[in-house]
Amino acid sequence: MPKSPLDGIIVIDFSTIIAAPLIGTLMADFGAEVIKVELPKVGDVTRGSGGLSGKRSPFWLTIGRNKKSVTLDLHTNEGQEIARKLCSKADVALFNYRPGVIENWNLGPEVLHKINPDLIIGLVSGYGQTGPYKDKGGFDRTVSAFTGVTYTSGYPENPPVRSGFPLIDYLTG
């Protein structure tokens, strides 16, 4: 049986919701071993998003597929230490937090590259890691409006219309 293109690649996915987790999902689809890190109590937000009563969330079934999961409290020293150990053996780490958050968890690029100099770190945020908007949160709805995508749908005589599909999230991932 032929190997998958990403066979042997280990990805630690610290991201949540859609845009960045989709990167991990696609890597898993191509054979990478993806370990999804989820916070205690809530897990990934998509686990409870958009599901029918008593059914599993279609978002989670899509974004969480082909991944292993582990629960770590990244607000604690113990959780941070385990996360660093995971990253020491990984090829890729994915994050989608505003600048400064992962540094507060002692998981910033400088810390992780001391542990694993070859680690590829993916940082996805609404407005980038630098610049005047870097500290603003970004979700599909706000970034769609900010970039003008909402002006491409609807009717000219009416206000802009948001897509019923998280287009920006999927284009980012």
Catalytic residue ranges: 169
Q: CA-CA distance, 5 to 127, in Å (whole number)?
A: 31
Q: CA-CA distance, 140 to 18, in Å (whole number)?
A: 9
**Tell me: the pLDDT tens digits for 42-66?**
888 888 777 666 677 888 888 999 9
Rg of the chain, C-alpha, whole Å: 17
The whole-number pLDDT of residue 133 equals 79
Confidence band for 114, pLDDT divided at 50, 70 and 90: very high
Specify the CATH superfamily of domain 10-129. Crotonobetainyl-coa:carnitine coa-transferase; domain 1 (3.40.50.10540)
Q: CA-CA distance, 43 to 146, in Å (whole number)?
A: 29
33, β-bridge pairs: 10
Contacts of 53 (CB under 8 A, 6+ apart): none
The whole-number pLDDT of residue 18 equals 83
Q: Per DSSP, which regions of 22-167 are E strands?
A: 33-38, 67-71, 92-95, 120-123
Contacts of 168 (CB under 8 A, 6+ apart): 19, 140, 143, 144, 147, 149
Task: Give residue limits of the domains in the chain.
Answer: 10-129, 139-173
Please give the share of the chain, as a percent, with pLDDT higher than 90.
51
Q: CA-CA distance, 24 to 21, in Å (whole number)?
A: 5
**Tell me: the pLDDT tens digits for 90-109?**
999 999 998 999 999 999 99
| DSSP conformation class of 52 | P
**Tell me: the pLDDT tens digits for 14-41?**
998 888 999 999 999 999 999 999 999 9
The whole-number pLDDT of residue 123 equals 94
